[in-house]
Every structure is written in C-alpha cells, then in structure tokens.
Amino acid sequence: MTNHWIDIRNSDCIMIIGSNAAENHPISFKWVTEAMENGAKLISVDPRFTRTSSKADIYAPLRSGTDIAFIGGIINYCLVNGLYNEEYVAEFTNASHLINSGFGFSDGYFSGFDQKNSKYSKSTWQYQLDENGIPKEDKTLKDPNCVFQLMKKHYSRYDADTVSKVTGCPKAMFLKVTKKYCETGQRGKAGTIMYAMGTTQHTYGTQNVRSYAVLQLLLGNMGLAGGGINALRGESNVQGSTDHCLLFHIIPGYLKTPKAGDKDLQTYLKHYTPVSKDPKSVNYWKHYPKFAVSLLKAFWGDAATEENDFAYNYLPKISGNYSHIALFEALYKGVIKGMILLGQNPAVGGPNARMERKAMENLDWMVAADLWETETASFWKGPEVDPKKIKTEVFLLPAAASFEKEGSITNSGRWAQWRYQAVNPPGQAKDDLWILNAIFTRVQNLYKKEGGKFPEPITKLAWNYGEHPSSHTVAKEINGYNLTTGKLLANFTKLKDDGTTMCGNWLYSGSYTEDGNMMARRELDDPTGIGLYPKWTWCWPVNRRIIYNRASCDTKGNPWNPDKYVIKWNGEKWVGDVPDYGKTVPPEKNVGAFIMKPEGHARIFGMGLADGPFPEHYEPVESPVENMISSVQIDPIVKVWDSEMDKIGTSDTFPIIATTYRVTEHWQTGAMTRSLPWLVELMPNMFCEMSKSLAKKKSIKNGDNVKIKSARGEIEAYALVTDRFQPFKLNGKVVEEIGLAWHYGFIGLSKGDSANCLTPHVGDANTMIPEYKAFLCDVKKA
C-alpha cells in the first residue's frame, strides 16, 4: 500500500477492483464504512457480486481479465473531458517528457518487437535528452512526442462502446463508475484504488496495476490522504517476506540478485545504481552501493573486506528465471532434488496443482515445517498417487504459531509490528527461527569439519545466534550497526559503502535503534488528525506513513487538501508525515516529487516494463473471445510452457470462463483454517458459484454436485446457483463465468478438491505471477 488501512477513511471515492476487501480483508471495512459515513462513495468492480459489492454505491460487473480495457476507458474519458489535475500531471509525472520520435504503437505491438525472441528492444522507449543529458520536457503537454500526447492517442481507442464490448460491463454502468471516480480529479478531492490478486494474477497483472497508477496520477491522487494505489496483501507478513526478498530475483531491501556477468562488486554496483545528469535530481537509488555493501557486511561480517569485494563473490549469480512456475517446470524435469518449505503449501496453492504435485515425485527429499500436516508434505498420499512408487524422503517439522514466539511482522500498510509470546508451542514444536538455526548450524559444522564445494560462504557466514536465536538480536542486525562505534543506526541515511556499517535490510533501518524497539511502540498520538499514528509501531521507509507524500502538495508546497494535509511547507521545513523529500528542501527548488526515480517524476510512460510502456489490453491465454482492441490476442511477451502437463484449452471444448478466489472464513490453501472446527462449520465444502442461466442450461440445481473440467484436470464441487453471477455480453456473444474457492485440498478437517488442479501454468510477462483469475472450463452435473 502506498497509504495504509486507517487512511482509507480519508477518501472521497473508493474503487475496489481486483479485490474483495469485505471478504478477504474484513477489517478494512471499518475504514471503508467510516469514509462512507463521511460521504464517500464506494465502487465495486468485480466479475461476481460479492460481500464487498453488497455494500457498494455502484457495482459494475467486469469479465475476468479485462481491467486494462476498463481502466483504459476511464483514462480516455478523463483525458477527453479534461478531468485530470493539470498542474499535478505536468509537474509531478513524466507526461511532459518527450519520447524518442521512433516510438510508436501499431495494432497491438509497441515499437521494437522482436518476433523471433518474443522480446522488445526498448531503444525507442526512451526520453529525448538535451545537450546535458537531461530529459526534454514540454510543460504545456502539447508536443506530439510528449508522453501526454502519446497516452492520449493510445487510449483514444478505448471508447465506452469498445470497453463495454470487451469487458461485458453495460455502457451506462461503465460511464456511471467513470464519472463518479473522475470527480476525484478535482482539487481537494482524493480517490483510492484498493486492489489485490484479482488484479495481479494475470499474464498482464503488472500492467493492470500500472493502469491504476496511471489513472491515479492523472487524477492527482497519489501521495494524498485518502488516495494512492493500495495493494491489499493477503498473508500476515507477505509484505515483510517480500521486503526480505525470499524471491529469486532480489536480495534484502529490493536489491538485485547479481546476474552471471556481474563479475565483481564494481560491475554489479554500476549495473544497478541509476545515474542522473540532472543537477536537481535526488535520484535516491544513487545510494545503492551503501545498501549493498552494508548488506554484505551483515551477511559475512569480518570476512567481508574491501580487499575481497566485501565477499561479493559469495553471493550466487543467476542466469534466467527461477520463479515459482519456472521452479516447478525445473522440478518436473528433475533438475531440483531437494526442497525446503516453511509454511507454504504449493500442492494446493500452486497453479496447475496436479502438475506441481506430479513434479514433487522427482524430489529426493523434502523438508516442511508447518502447524498442521499439509497436502504438500503429504503429496505422496494424494489422489492419483501410489506411495509405494514415490522415492521422496519427507521431514515434517512441527512449527510454532504466531503467539507462541516473539518477533515482528509487517502489514500491508508497511507497519512493522512487534508481537509477543503468550504460550509455549505444543509438544516438541519449535519456532522457525530455532528451526532455521538448527538446520544451518549443522550444515555449517559439516562444512567446517569435512569441507566441500566452495565452503567459504557457509563457513564464514556471520551466524552466531547461539542455541536459540533471539528475535531481538536478529531485528537489530536487520536495523544495522555502525561498526566503528558499535551503536545501532538511527536510519538508513547513516549507511556507508566503505564497510564501516552493516545492515541486513536498509528499508528496515530505523526500526530498532539506540532508542529502543520502534516496532513495539504503542503510543496513540495523531498530531495531523488524519490517522497516521506515527508513534504506533514503526513503518518503512523511515516511519513515513504515506509514501510519495510530496505530491500531496502543489508546486508551491500548499496541500491540495488543507483539511487533510499529509505534509506542508511552513516556510522553513516540511511538517506532518515524514516527508518523501528533503525535510528542509523548499518547494521552489523543485527537485522532483518522486525522488526514487532518476528524473524525479512518476512514470506514466514506463520504459522499464517488458511488455510496453503503456498498459494495453490483451486477452488471457485462455479466452472465449478474440481481442477486440487489436489483432494481437495475448500479451506477446508471455511464455507458454511445453511439458506434457501444460495444456492450454480452447473455447470450443471449454466455453466457460472460470476464476478463483477466497472467502472470509478460510485462508489461502486452508492449511491454517481447514483444521479449525469453527471455521469449517461456516464453510465446510468446496463450492462453485454460477449464474442461474448457466445452471438452467446444464440442468444444475443449487446444492447439486458438479464436475468442473479444464485442459489440466477435473474437480468436483457443490453448485451454488446465484444471481450474483450474470452472463457477460461480449460484442453480442453471451459468455458465462463461474467462480471457485481455492481453499480446499485432501488433508485437514474439511477436505475438498483443489481449484488449482484446473489453473494454467502461465505467468505474468513481468513478474511471472500465475494466471489464476481467468481460464476456460466446462461444467456438468456430477
């Protein structure tokens, strides 16, 4: 979230799209409701009428996977009718920047597409530079090569009629949403977009999010109280686990995992430290070397010296993609021999789960730590499996629950909150800190004793946590120390690139300082009155509660909405929230409101994306219709895998759209809810929601057992026949959509077939997040 949960109350218009906040983040509705009590309007855009929609002022149905068409339509309406915040757009975004005149877009392809390698060359997706190497701008936004004009042209194709044909949302309903939401472009108004996996889990999920960002920038909603684009994250510490980069492509603090070819530290730092020739630019990532060297010092301590490149050589280097889907493809091919899982259950949660379960059969060993037995740990007991043929040795380790250990977790609003131990874990169960330490110290001892392949990164790792690591010790390491004084760092501005500081994650520097554990604070001061609670726990970065908050004021430093100001310039300094700007840098210096970008401007034109600088509508890999906006059917960058279990279905065999989702009463793969009797009582069985028209056509009655089949598999579920699903009219063609809860599996107090046995193994062009939200199936009575 750019903002945070409480801040939703400051909004004038809340659009929930790609999220079902009332069901999956129920407490968010404390703040949605408060906003509505104060006059805010709630818009729910969803293929299905949900518990969120039940509370909305406007509900607009939208076929799964057509967000870009929908939002593109709003962008077009906003531009054509001049509903954007012109000062904001011209001054804070790159709308004024001139793009290489070779840039273009033609029938679904941006310039530079390399058909053979399914890749874009981005040479034309670049700013025009002046003689000093600074991007050229036209603040009047009139130059035909400026981003604003290119965008206007791009989205002129997204007129209301086209949007309606593509999305299945009736035109009048689309326009109702559009007009209401565009009102937030007025000075003093703020609109927020709340989104979740309905947005991201598509082959163009990243571009879905970008389309929201573009709209929010046009309306001047970024940085404001009650504004922002707010990803509602699903697991209690998925924000923290992402920040600490339990992902192949990044290392703690969103630093890049070195690639093969980043041969030494200097090459690596040069590769990833952005440069700006603009003397005004803050270009905050210029500090990259300080973050990276301090991390290496935290990892390898005294063994990381200037002479040995701070042990840079110890870091593994990647060549290619190792993300979830690629991982299971490699496992399927037998590349991976061993797997360690701490609290994760891909046998239910992974896409094409039958294929992922099958792939697990290639493992020599698996280590799984969890609170309950999971389908993953017990994949050898699953349907279609004969355990006597499975070679895998499995170690299932009993883990401690949240209140059986002490430590911090980071919520969606980036608040790192400390929690305490209430009781001991049951029996021999142990917390994960103990488990990780117990495993690693044994590995380290083996290497110390026996040697082995390249043992130094292991033997020399700074790992002195004793028998049971203290979460305080680790939290302090994450915060970082000045190695000369031995004192904890006050924040990341104190970091150095010469080896005199260490810091496990620069983003968390400031969370545990000489003044104490900031994450454990419980003071309820609210000096600005907008609910920032700056002394309640701690939030990254540097306790800034709303990021990009410089954009909450106009160029002169006056808040767009003085009644709900986030920061403001008092003549000497910025007051309010921790400014996302130099605290004493006056507004007239105009160093750029978005300091993390080298050009200081938010990017409406995003040259960093793999599949185009503007979000463009494509169809899901499995779709019942042809792309009505261009002749390019699917995102051209998407990789389709080719194992024998990676089948793609077509609409002649599978005419119905399927989507997956969660319900309030269960959580993720059900591993932490399907063994809780009270929750099982509420939601005992796997079910499939469908429209009355589809049910009638298939002679299905409410409560019947039905079979749902995709190109990957078949599952059974109870039918829930409801008006809350309606068929979509797509350019005259009527298409049905069904919905599947994905919580169920073959282990637990309540069991049921897994919806992911049906989902495809394809991922987003930029992030490889799987396409869980739009695929094809057929349904029949069981």
Among positions 460-519, residues that touch other proteins (CB under 8 A) are: 461, 463, 465, 469, 471, 474-475, 477-478, 504-505, 508, 515-517
CA angle, corner 638, sides to 634 and 642, nearest 5?
A: 110
Question: What is the footprint of other proteins within residues 269-298 (CB under 8 A)?
Answer: 298
Query: Of these, 11, 230, 411, 491, which contacts other proteins (CB under 8 A)?
Result: 411
Q: How far is the CB of 415 from other proteins (least distance, A)?
A: 6
Residue closer to other proteins (CB basis): 112 or 234: 234
Query: Of these, 45, 95, 229, 251, which contacts other proteins (CB under 8 A)?
Result: 251
Q: How far is the CB of 407 from other proteins (least distance, A)?
A: 3
Stretch that binds other proteins, among 222-230, 372-380, 564-572, 617-625 (CB under 8 A): 372-380
Stretch that binds other proteins, among 29-37, 160-168, 178-186, 650-658 (CB under 8 A): 29-37
Query: Of these, 314, 538, 569, 618, which contacts other proteins (CB under 8 A)?
Result: 314
Structural contact between residues 262 and 292, judged by C-beta atoms closer than 8 angstroms = no
Stretch that binds other proteins, among 71-79, 158-166, 434-442, 562-570 (CB under 8 A): 434-442
Residue closer to other proteins (CB basis): 279 or 427: 427
Site string for other proteins, 710-749 (x = CB under 8 A): --------x-x-xxx-----------------------xx
Residue closer to other proteins (CB basis): 83 or 169: 169
Site string for other proteins, 548-587 (x = CB under 8 A): ----------------------------------------
Structural contact between residues 253 and 296, judged by C-beta atoms closer than 8 angstroms = no
Helix (H) or strand (E) holding 7: none
Query: Of these, 375, 770, 775, 777, which contacts other proteins (CB under 8 A)?
Result: 770
Phi, psi dihedrals of residue 516, rounded to the nearest 5°: 120, -170
* DSSP labels, 655-699: -EEEEEE--TT--TTTTTTTT-HHHHHHS-S-EEEE-HHHHHHTT
Query: Of these, 46, 138, 143, 243, which contacts other proteins (CB under 8 A)?
Result: 243
Length of the chain: 782
Residue closer to other proteins (CB basis): 82 or 677: 677
133 binds other proteins (CB under 8 A): no
Structure tokens of 320?
Answer: 């290619």
359 binds other proteins (CB under 8 A): no
DSSP state of 172: H
Task: With CB under 8 A as the rule, give the number of residues binding other proteins.
Answer: 196
Stretch that binds other proteins, among 365-373, 601-609, 635-643, 706-714 (CB under 8 A): 365-373
Residue closer to other proteins (CB basis): 323 or 549: 323
Q: How far is the CB of 85 from other proteins (least distance, A)?
A: 29
Query: Of these, 134, 160, 269, 336, which contacts other proteins (CB under 8 A)?
Result: 336
Structure tokens of 725?
Answer: 């699903």
643 binds other proteins (CB under 8 A): no
Structural contact between residues 363 and 328, judged by C-beta atoms closer than 8 angstroms = no
Residue closer to other proteins (CB basis): 610 or 749: 749
194 binds other proteins (CB under 8 A): no
For 405, residues 6+ apart whose C-beta sits below 8 A from its C-beta are: 421, 425, 431, 432, 433, 471
CA-wise closest residue to 351 among 773, 776, 688, 779: 773
Query: Residues 353-358: contacts with CB within 8 Å, 24+ apart?
Result: 353/754, 353/756, 353/757, 353/759, 354/384, 354/645, 354/712, 354/713, 354/757, 355/328, 355/643, 355/645, 355/646, 355/712, 355/761, 356/328, 356/331, 357/382, 357/385, 358/332, 358/645
Structural contact between residues 596 and 285, judged by C-beta atoms closer than 8 angstroms = yes
Question: What is the footprint of other proteins within residues 8-27 (CB under 8 A)?
Answer: 22-27
How many Cβ atoms from other residues are within 10 Å of residue 706's Cβ? 23
Structural contact between residues 413 and 28, judged by C-beta atoms closer than 8 angstroms = no
Burial environment of residue 622 by CB neighbours within 10 A (0 to 12, 13 to 18, 19 or more): buried
Stretch that binds other proteins, among 117-125, 247-255, 271-279, 561-569 (CB under 8 A): 247-255
* DSSP labels, 421-469: --SPPSTT-B-HHHHHHHHHHHHHHHHHHH--SS-HHHHTS-----SS-
Residue closer to other proteins (CB basis): 614 or 742: 742
Query: Of these, 2, 11, 19, 28, which contacts other proteins (CB under 8 A)?
Result: 28
Angle between helices 147-155 and 67-80 (to 10 degrees): 120
225 binds other proteins (CB under 8 A): no
In whole angstroms, give the CA distance from residue 509 to residue 385. 48
Query: Of these, 44, 192, 216, 239, which contacts other proteins (CB under 8 A)?
Result: 239
Q: How far is the CB of 547 from other proteins (least distance, A)?
A: 16
527 binds other proteins (CB under 8 A): no
